Amino acid sequence: MGKSMLESTKTNSILRGFLSVGFLLSAGVLGVASIALRPGMRALSVYYRKESIAIRKPLSEFDISRLPSFKNGWVRSDIPPDDIETDEYAIIRLSAEQKTTIPREVVLFVTYYSDPNSKVPHTPDVCSRQGGAILRDMRSITIDIPVLLRSTVKARLLLAQYQGYDEAIIFCFYADGRFRNSREQVRWDIGMPGNRHVYFSKIETVARYPTDESPDAAIELCKKLFAEAAPVLISDHFPTPEQVRR
């Protein structure tokens, strides 16, 4: 019995020795890892840090002649930058080429941002309410753009009622080469590691129509302008994929 207890005590001592050595080794490894981790994390943070990138061509120089279905563009450039959080924008009032189109007037509103820390400005559903509108409808739609490789784009449609008239509003974001129809998707793109540079744009088309009439014609006019303007913005204004890559 005494011999058995002695052997047991000896075994426990050996186990405690191994555990002590193991603990010390583990603590040492963790200490070395923590020392090496800090500079490694700093290096990764620097490497993956996003940077701004300038637009290739100012939006104020948008070539209206590239829109085959529209003419008589009138550019507005008097919005305070603080109101839309950028000084790179264009608001262009256009007329449909076909005189029989009703409504005939439609507006293209485009903004450009390149701040990695941007929270993404308000979308029309927020801004229209702040302007006194009542939202009658809000839903997702698809727009066919045959000239793009991705020929179908998902956008958002709003029907807003004001005093004496209604508006059909179609909008979509273009972030780092992708169409996005929500602020959350754009924020996700901005925060994801990958490209060195970051940018996004909000493309919006607006047409008014009488409150007591169907919005269908105004919606189709907005869709047509979006489908013709988006390829021009991508080819002439927004940075190329090669420019934003790491």
Given 26, 48, 70, the domain boundary residue is: 48
Do 43 and 55 lie in a common domain? no
Secondary structure class of 206 (helix, strand, coil):
strand
Domains identified in the chain, total number:
2
Do 125 and 225 lie in a common domain? yes
Do 44 and 166 lie in a common domain? no
Distance between first and last Cα of the chain: 73
Do 167 and 75 lie in a common domain? yes
Do 115 and 211 lie in a common domain? yes
| Token pair 């800090």: residue | 38
Averaged pLDDT for residues 124-150: 86
In the chain, what percentage of residues exceed pLDDT 70?
75
Do 20 and 136 lie in a common domain? no
pLDDT value at residue 46:
44
Do 44 and 61 lie in a common domain? no
CA distances from 118 to 26, 87, 243 (A): 42, 14, 20
pLDDT value at residue 40:
45
Q: How confident is the model at residue 167 (pLDDT cuts 50, 70, 90)?
A: very high
Do 64 and 168 lie in a common domain? yes
Could you tell me which residue, 52 or 24, shows the higher pLDDT?
52
Q: How confident is the model at residue 145 (pLDDT cuts 50, 70, 90)?
A: very high
Do 119 and 186 lie in a common domain? yes
Domain membership of residue 202 as a residue range: 51-244
Token pair belonging to 156: 């958002």
User: Is residue 18 predicted with pLDDT exceeding 50?
Assistant: no
User: Is residue 135 predicted with pLDDT exceeding 60?
Assistant: yes
pTM for the complete prediction? 0.78
pLDDT value at residue 85:
85
